[in-house]
Amino acid sequence: MKKSFLYIGVALLVLLVAFFIAKPRVAENAYQKAKVFADSANYETAMSKVDFALMLSTKPEYLDLKGFILQNTGVDSTAITYFDKAIALDSTVANPFLHKGISQKNMEQWEPAILSLDKAISLNDSLAKAYYTRGVAKAGLLKFDEAIEDYVKSAQLDGTNKDAFYKMGASVEALNDFNKAISAYSKLIESGAANADAFKKRGIFRVKLKDFKGGEADLAKATEMKSNDVEAWYYLGLAQINSQKVPDALKALNRALALDGKYTPALYTRGMIALQRGEFKNSIADLTKATTLKPDYTKAVLSLGTAKALSKDYKGSIAAFTKGIALDPTNADAYFNRGISYGILNQHRAAIADYNQAIKLNTKYAEAFYNRAVSKFNLKEENSGCDDFKKALELGYEPARNMIRIYCPEKK
């Protein structure tokens, strides 16, 4: 009997020794499986595997993985406790600091996030995600200059990180400093990490700064790299218009509209080219479509009024200018132009009312004084009309001189 108990005890001891020898391997196997499941976003299975691994061993990487899984299921506050446990066991590894910083960023704890990410970067300065996340946190603190530097670094380390490009663009827009924007995108381009968006963004900012040659070069590169980018084709056309390359501009605008026939900036711009070339039918077609798609597109509405007036559709012109005035009642030119159409239709009282408003908004509007004088003469209000001709001349509108000589000799 004693001998059998002895055998049982020895067998149990052997099993225990075997278990403790195998335990690290079993735990590691569960951890590796958890990583695979986590990478495929199967977080429920990943959690069961990592919990089993942690039951066998509390290695820092296991704790970090559990925190990562919690983070990706939206439980950031609990995730941070596991990252802290991992850090307490080994503070020389970057990933727990990185993951902690991400959770703090998710919770909009900007300053703590930056501290965590600073530590991650100090341990491993090639972590693109750490720079990117720190950029987001800095932007959260409105430190856009510093945020841009981090986004640039992130994109240099990982040229496939589109979010870094877009976040950098948002920070650049917030700064409203086009030169800084160009500098930031230039760093990306010079590093070789740039994608088509970097060339497009730099090109757009160059166009906004009236560097049309530089803008055209960048936007041509952007469209070469990404031929289905509507915005890039549009701005390429805009750069070419301003470089007096109208045929090339039309090709670019046509490409933009072939990709998206409802892209109103391209419709407006092509309509304006047609207007300047006297192609009123084409102009009206593009501007009508633009304003139908976007009824509050003020400059397109007002340009449609001009196109209709030049095509001698004065009633249509008045209707368009009336819509434009409703959108922008402080636009003196809109009242002036509607006044012209009223005058041509011999509706001189309505014309005078519009010229009055144009002059109220711009007291030095010489042409409005001149046109008001013409309408007053048509209503037999010669004395008042002569006063307006005189005022127009005072403001430097030379055609008024001849009108004064002919119709207002006593007012020379």
Q: What is the pTM of this model?
A: 0.71
Contact 53, 28 (CB under 8 A): yes
CA angle (331 as vertex; 268, 386 as ends), nearest 5 = 125
Contact 69, 43 (CB under 8 A): yes
Sign of the torsion formed by the C-alpha atoms of 320, 326, 328 and 333: positive
Q: How many CB atoms lie within 10 A of CB 324?
A: 27
Residue with tokens 């010669």: 382
The residues, ordered by sequence, that sit 6+ positions from 39 with a Cβ below 8 Å of its Cβ are none
Q: How far apart are CA 117 and CA 130, in angstroms?
A: 6
Amino acid sitting at position 78: T
- Helices 2-39 & 43-56, crossing angle to 10 degrees? 140
Sign of the torsion formed by the C-alpha atoms of 186, 189, 194 and 196: positive
- For the chain, domains (ranges, CATH) are 27-125 (1.25.40.10)
Q: How far apart are CA 36 and CA 332, in angstroms?
A: 67
pLDDT tens per residue across all 412 residues of the chain = 444 544 555 454 444 444 445 567 887 888 999 889 989 999 999 999 889 888 888 889 999 999 999 999 999 999 999 999 999 999 999 999 999 999 999 999 999 999 999 999 999 999 999 999 998 898 888 888 888 888 888 888 887 776 777 777 777 767 777 887 888 788 778 877 678 888 998 999 999 999 999 999 999 999 999 999 999 999 999 999 999 999 999 999 999 999 999 999 999 999 999 999 999 999 999 999 999 999 999 999 999 999 999 999 999 999 999 999 999 999 999 999 999 999 999 999 999 999 999 999 999 999 999 999 999 999 999 999 999 999 999 999 999 999 999 999 874 4
